[in-house]
A and B are shown apart, each in its own frame.
Chain A
Amino acid sequence: MQIIKTDVAIIGAGGSGLRAAIEIAENHPQLEIALISKVYPMRSHTVAAEGGAAGVVQDSDSLDQHFHDTVSGGDWLCEQDVVQYFVENAAKQLTQLEHWGCPWSRKEDGSINVRAFGGMKKERTWFAADKSGFHILHTLFQTSIKHPKITRFDEHFCLDLIVEDNKIQGVVILDIAEGEAKLIQAKSVIMATGGAARVYTYNTNGGIVTGDGMSLAYRHGVALRDMEFIQYHPTGLPGSGILMTEGCRGEGGVLINKDGYRYLQDYGLGPETPIGQPKNKHMELGPRDKISQCFWQEQQKGNVISGDRGDVVHLDLRHLGEAKINERLPFIRELAKAYVGVDPVYEPIPVRPTVHYTMGGIATDAKTATSLAGLYAIGECASVGLHGANRLGSNSLTELAVFGQLAGQQAAEYAQQATHQDITPLRQQAEQVIARTEALLNSNGTEKMADIRQAMGDCMEQGVGIYRTQASMQQTIDTLAELKQRYKSIQINDKSSVFNTEFLYAIELGYLLDTAEAMAHSAILRKESRGSHQRIDDYQTRDDINYLKHSLAYFQADNAPIIKYADVTITKSQPAERVYGAASETKEK
């Protein structure tokens, strides 16, 4: 087994992992950085983000407004000190990306342009047409190349964390092309592995978004926080789930049902705004949780459009005209043409809600540190406390930059204080990890992986979807428990060592099942409705007396996770009724 010593190991080389790596390389040139990714960095799922990144720039806007939009958007489950830090550093970190070459869309005078986004009172979303994540990721990847202290381990898969003496001391990784395991000995480790939306059948996410880092931390006793909060993005393509950015609505696109009626006005988001005059926090610029819920309500009323690819509503961009669509939403046009055969210049796009984002994740403090000494977590795999019960679109790309920078700084400082420990116990642990991995590879199970994966995705959609009941969640919990048992006899036909993707999918499925279990158990115990967690049984309203709390899920191997609760940090915004549309204006008066 190859043993490689480094100072800071970063698992995941998407937006947040790259940002952290650059932070360390720029400011701590004496430190060695191992940047580990199961894919080449530019394949990371940051690449698929479309709409943009929020940061206050307009004179008419203020940090306070960004703060309040985020906290109310999160239904008061946000850590308010974290939100404050975030809004204060947002524009600065987006400016940093600009200096590194990110081609943000501009106004005629060459200054940064911003667009409207759901739940945001002012236009503050920086965008690079409709490929914002793509440009951020490539800018960061290319900038990272400048730094010789960043050693990349591309296409290396993380098998486990090495915890010894109550602190993290390294990771075991598998070189996918060679089939060879390596021990990376590190003084601190940053988890930046992204979300877990692949636990659902229909999602906007890439195939690699399998909750790896969440499960690895969880299995080592770190809590997963607020896992019941899953974001359905209201506008995915039917069938594939491919994302149609919220930027479509930010630019003025409207949602209509089978009668051509803008149904959002019936659900507290109205009054109807004139076509071509989108109004912040009204109608199509409401928050994602509510707009996805409206689809479900319309579906119950029989107002949706049924087609070959399932039930949809229409996202109509036609009034924007070809020139504006080509300038602001060229990728949307390309995707709609390719995947549903619709040119949005001439026809409305069929859309439906699909799973998009995990608000929760590895619990960290306000400075990205987890409860395990030396381990930090950032980006979608983490719960730093920014998003609460519902993330506002365009806050997460900024999160990568703001907390990627912070985690880099924190993990570097930790590494400077620490020394490499005796390798012997670490090597012994790594050997056990490898033995366990080989046992899985060489097992003679009979359970079909594709069946377990499908059953998992379907039961999550059924039980922990847009609306939930005690019975539906219990059913999902039971199914997941059964699937976890079946997983123990999973069939792996391919026993080879070179680029054995069947084997990797099997390990990923294990990560997915544990993450799914944390989600379902956290959900059933939250006996209220808040943000994206909406119940249609006995708990249809928010209950601040009992549940103005974060959930914390603790792994218990074959038993159900233990769910604990922690207080929410509230600084300047006391919980209030969460309102959009006309009601929000009344409230602000």
Chain B
Amino acid sequence: MSAQTMPAHSTMANKVIEVEILRYRPEQDEKPFPQLFEVPYNPDMSILEALQYIKDHLDSSVSFRWSCRMAICGSCGLMVNNIPKLGCKAFLRDYYPQKVKLEALANFPIERDLVVDMGDFIKKLEEIKPYIIPATDDKCLSEGTYKQTPEQMEKYKQFSMCINCGLCYSACPQYGLDKKFTGPAALALLARYNRDSRDAGSAERMKIVNQEEGVWSCTFVGYCSVVCPKGVDPAAAIQLLKVESSKDYLIGMFKPD
């Protein structure tokens, strides 16, 4: 016997919202096409819940990624009226009574429907050496934890908040033009480790930063930080890295390897 079952949503009588999804099934569709659905409207309902309603009741073949429903797993990024959003943290109430248009994340190849190919993005995360590279005299476990004051943590904490949702790549005009650009999330993650007091790997990572496809590809549009659902501010991370990269360059002029 459970605590009384609660209503998932008390639906508003007869109100519906139009949801248009850009469909693409590579085995049967030559090119993407829009499909319109009518979903019962409820102000609590997220875009993700609207998609789940569509899949459960209207068209079971619509594909999209999701899991946590609470804006922390980073699965459900998509374009909502041409703006990159997390489906679980965008709500119908912000669009009703207008139609909502859903598409796969821009700048990524569409795998199917709202599912994009994340392969290049994941590869970029892997390439920036996103792990502590310890100093040669690093502690062993029996010596306990490193000391890190709240001020030291503050230097990188914000850049450690990235959920790898890919919205910033979708927003980045430079990534749209040139897929070689390391891009906002990966550079923010790089800054996260370079700024961590426990890490001694900055010099290795600065080689990545200094490359043409590193920070210098960024034209500082700043839209990445606008769309970031977690306040990571990758644009700020890139600016900080540009300063470091300039210092590297100047030092390099006087002290060649």
Q: Do A and B interact?
A: yes
In-complex Cβ contact of A99 among B25, B74, B129, B146 (8 A): B146
B149 touches A154 (CB 8 A): no
Task: Using known A-B contacts A95-B144, A99-B139, determine if residue A498 contacts B1 with beta carbons closer than 8 Å.
Answer: no
Contact yes or no, A239 B72, CB < 8 A: no
Closest to B73 in A: A43
Residues 1-34 (chain B) with a chain A CB within 8 angstroms: 1-10, 25-28
Contacts of B61 in A (CB 8 A): 493-494, 496, 502
Q: Are A500 and B122 in contact (CB under 8 A)?
A: no
B64, A465: Cβ atoms closer than 8 Å: no
CA–CA, A143 and B233, complex, Å: 23
Residues in B whose Cβ lies below 8 Å from that of A138: 160, 162
| Residues 234-248 (chain A) with a chain B CB within 8 angstroms | 238-240, 242-243
Q: Is A310 an interface residue (CB 8 A)?
A: yes
Bound: A177/B27 CA distance, A: 12
Q: CA–CA, A339 to B45, complex, Å? A: 9
Residue A62 interfacial (CB < 8 Å): no
Task: Please tell me which one of the listed residues A106, A339, A458 contacts residue B5 in the complex, with CB atoms under 8 A apart.
Answer: A458
If over half of B's interface residues share one DSSP class (helix, strand or loop), that class is named, otherwise mixed; here it is: loop
CB atoms of B8 and A98 under 8 A apart? no
Beta-carbon contact of A48 and B68 below 8 Å: yes
Whether B217 is near chain A, meaning CB under 8 Å from some CB there, is: no
Q: Which of B98-123 contact A (CB under 8 A)?
A: 111-113, 115, 117-118, 122
* Contact (Cβ within 8 A) B70 A339: yes
- Is B141 part of the binding interface, using a Cβ–Cβ cutoff of 8 Å? yes
Q: B132-159: which residues lie under 8 A (CB-CB) from chain A?
A: 132, 134, 138-139, 141, 144-150, 152-153, 156-157
Instruction: Please give the distance in Å from B221's CB to the nearest CB on chain A.
Output: 26
| One of A109-117, A478-486, A573-581 at the interface | A109-117
Bound-complex Cα distance A134 to B125 (A): 17
Q: Which residues of A contact B55 (CB under 8 A)?
A: 501-502
Cα distance, A338 to B193, chains bound together (Å): 30
Q: Closest CB-CB distance, A128 to chain B, in whole Å?
A: 9
Question: Taking the complex as formed, is A47 at the interface, i.e. its CB lies under 8 A from any CB of chain B?
Answer: yes
Q: Is A99 in contact with B75, judged by CB distance below 8 angstroms?
A: no
A563 at the interface (CB under 8 A from B): no
Within 8 Å CB of B111, what residues of A?
A: 177, 498-499
Tell whether A92 is near chain B: CB-to-CB under 8 Å.
yes
Please give, as numbers and ranges, the residues of chain B lying within 8 Å of A536 by CB-CB distance.
1
Beta-carbon contact of B193 and A498 below 8 Å: no
Known: A47-B68, A352-B6, A497-B27. A100 touches B146 (CB 8 A): no
Contact of B2 with A462 in the complex, beta carbons under 8 Å: yes
Using known A-B contacts A101-B132, A110-B152, A206-B69, determine if residue A296 contacts B28 with beta carbons closer than 8 Å: no
B131 A207 Cβ-Cβ under 8 A: no
Contact yes or no, A101 B64, CB < 8 A: no
Asked whether A131 is an interface residue with its Cβ less than 8 Å from the other chain, the reply is yes
CB of B126 closer than 8 Å to a CB of A: yes
- Complex partner residue of B73 from A48, A98, A135, CB under 8 angstroms: A48
Q: How far is it, in angstroms, between the C-alpha of A536 and the C-alpha of B2 when the chains are bound?
A: 12
Name A42's closest neighbour in chain B (CB-CB): B164
Chain B: CB-nearest residue to A353: B3
Contact status A240-B67, CB under 8 Å: no
Does residue B255 face the partner (Cβ distance < 8 Å to A)? no
| CB pair A494 B60 closer than 8 Å | yes
Report the minimal beta-carbon distance from B66 to chain A, rounded to whole angstroms. 6
Of A39, A207, A208, most B-chain CB atoms within 10 Å: A207
> A285-325: which residues lie under 8 A (CB-CB) from chain B?
292, 295-296, 299, 308-311
Q: Does B244 contact A (CB under 8 A)?
A: no
The answer to whether A465 touches B131, judged by C-beta atoms less than 8 angstroms apart, is: no
Instruction: Give the residues in chain B near A458, CB-CB below 8 Å.
Output: 5
Q: Could you say which residues of chain A place their CB within 8 Å of the CB of B2?
A: 461-462, 465-467
User: Is B222 positioned at the interface, with any CB of A under 8 Å from its CB?
Assistant: no
Task: Output the residue of A108, A154, A493, A502 with the most chain B CB within 10 A.
Answer: A502
Residues of A within 8 A of B4 (CB): 299, 310-311
B210 CB within 8 Å of chain A = no
Interface residues of A in 134-181 (CB under 8 A from B): 134-135, 138, 142-143, 145-146, 154, 177
- The answer to whether residues A40 and B118 also contact, given A109-B149, A110-B152 and a CB cut-off of 8 A, is yes
Q: Does A437 contact B (CB under 8 A)?
A: no
| Residues in chain B near residue A467, CB distance under 8 A | 1-2
Q: A450 to B145, Cβ gap below 8 A?
A: no
Known pairs A43-B75, A202-B6; A450 contacts B57 (CB<8 A): yes
User: Is B242 positioned at the interface, with any CB of A under 8 Å from its CB?
Assistant: no
Q: How far is the CA of A499 from the CA of B110 in the complex (A)?
A: 11
| Residue A265 lies at the interface, judged by CB distance under 8 Å to chain B | no
A111→B146 CA distance, assembly (Å): 8
Which of chain A's residues have a CB closer than 8 A to the CB of B28?
496
A45 within 8 A of B: yes
Question: Whole-angstrom distance between the alpha carbons of A269 and B157 in the complex?
Answer: 38
Task: Give the residues in chain B near A500, CB-CB below 8 Å.
Answer: 63
Residues of B with C-beta under 8 A to A238:
6
Any B CB within 8 A of the CB of A463: yes
CA gap between A258 and B229 in the complex, in Å: 35
CB of A242 within 8 A of CB of B69, answer: yes
Q: Assess whether A101 is in contact with B6, with CB atoms less than 8 Å apart.
A: no
Add 6 more A-B contacts to A47-B68, A95-B144, A145-B129 (CB < 8 A).
A135-B160, A206-B67, A206-B68, A239-B6, A308-B10, A502-B60
Question: Could you pull out 11 A-B pairs where Cβ atoms are within 8 angstroms?
Answer: A40-B122, A106-B150, A207-B68, A311-B6, A335-B70, A462-B5, A465-B2, A466-B2, A472-B1, A494-B61, A499-B111
| A interface residues with partner B (beta carbon < 8 Å) | 39-40, 42-45, 47-48, 92, 95-96, 98-101, 103-104, 106, 108-112, 131, 134-135, 138, 142-143, 145-146, 154, 177, 201-202, 206-208, 232, 238-240, 242-243, 292, 295-296, 299, 308-311, 331, 334-335, 338-339, 352-353, 449-450, 458, 461-463, 465-469, 472, 492-494, 496-502, 536
Q: Which 5 A-B pairs have the closest CB atoms?
A: A310-B6, A465-B2, A110-B147, A206-B67, A450-B56
